Amino acid sequence: MRALSVHADLIVFISRFWQTTCTAVRAGEEGFVIDSPVYPDELEAVPSVLEQAGFPVSGLLATHADWDHLLGRIAFPRASLGCGETTARRLAAEPGAAQRELREFDEEHYVDDRRPLSLASVQSLPVPGRLALGSGDRELELHPADGHTADGTAFYIPWLGVLVCGDYLSPVEIPWLSPGGSPNNYLATLERLRPLVERADTVVPGHGRPLRPDEALTLLEEDASYLRALPADGADAALPPGRRTNPQRRIHAQNVELLAR
């Protein structure tokens, strides 16, 4: 796992698996962690790194309900977990799904030292909306971000100029349509993200390194072109430049299969 100090009050952890990101933000005497790394040793390291850096952790946030973004509770079992309304509904409608998928991952990758994942008492947050921190002089912006899945929230941190957008604008992964996702909803989310990217100094995708705004806008255009071509061209749709690897071709095949159902 890599830990990048993007700002004095923001650290991004990048997991060895899928380059899944975890973003820690300090807001005065408060702090919160968005999403999570994947492997047990990574989850054990995050609290130590944040303690050494003087980052308090008063709560956890998740961009969406895919299992690899929900593991913060393992690292911080006593912290509250907040998420957008659509994600809270998905978690309620799919009880135990994240834990089952995590067990399957651990079996496949020979991980045998995982602490249990508890997703009890999730706090549902209104989206679009704002979340006041501390005395209320700082507010986190919540924006809808569905399309990859049926749920999703992007978090904009205005006092740092940072957008944490979940599984969008990845430099290492093409748009991935999971069950409940769709090209049209994904495209709509990209357009909602565009003005946020233009406001931002740094964009943190769900998978891959933090980006400059110009890099994120380039990826946005490439992803939009791919998604517009996908329904019409199917398997022949061109993958975004720089992401034409065999793993991304497998994701593309899954996207084609999903649209054919």
Q: Count CB-CB contacts under 10 A for residue 17.
A: 16
pLDDT value for 98: 95
- Which pLDDT band holds residue 136 (cuts at 50, 70, 90)? low
pLDDT average, residue stretch 161-175: 97
Compute CA distances 74 → 17, 31, 40, 104, 162, whole Å. Answer: 17, 17, 9, 17, 25
Q: Which of 62-66, 177-181, 200-204 has the lowest mean pLDDT?
A: 177-181
- Contact in structure between 149 and 65 (CB atoms under 8 Å): yes
Task: Please determine, for residue 255, whether its predicted confidence score (pLDDT) is greater than 80.
Answer: yes
Task: Please determine, for residue 28, whether its predicted confidence score (pLDDT) is greater than 90.
Answer: no
Q: What is the pTM of this model?
A: 0.95
- Contact in structure between 186 and 147 (CB atoms under 8 Å): yes
DSSP string, 171-221: SS------TT--HHHHHHHHHHHHHHHHH-SEEE-SBS--B-HHHHHHHHH
- The residue ranking higher by pLDDT, 22 or 134, is 22
Q: Which overall architecture, per CATH, does domain 2-175+189-213 show?
A: 4-Layer Sandwich (3.60)
167 phi, psi to nearest 5 deg: -85, 55
Domains of the chain by residue range: 2-175+189-213
pLDDT value for 137: 79
- Which pLDDT band holds residue 133 (cuts at 50, 70, 90)? confident
Tens digits of per-residue pLDDT, 94-130? 999 999 999 999 999 999 989 999 998 899 999 999 9
pLDDT value for 135: 64
Q: Count CB-CB contacts under 10 A for residue 80.
A: 14
Q: Is the dihedral of CA 170, 176, 179, 180 positive or negative?
A: positive
- Antiparallel, parallel or unpaired: β 81-84 and 153-157: unpaired
Task: Please determine, for residue 180, whether its predicted confidence score (pLDDT) is greater than 70.
Answer: yes
Q: Average pLDDT over the chain, rounded to whole?
A: 95
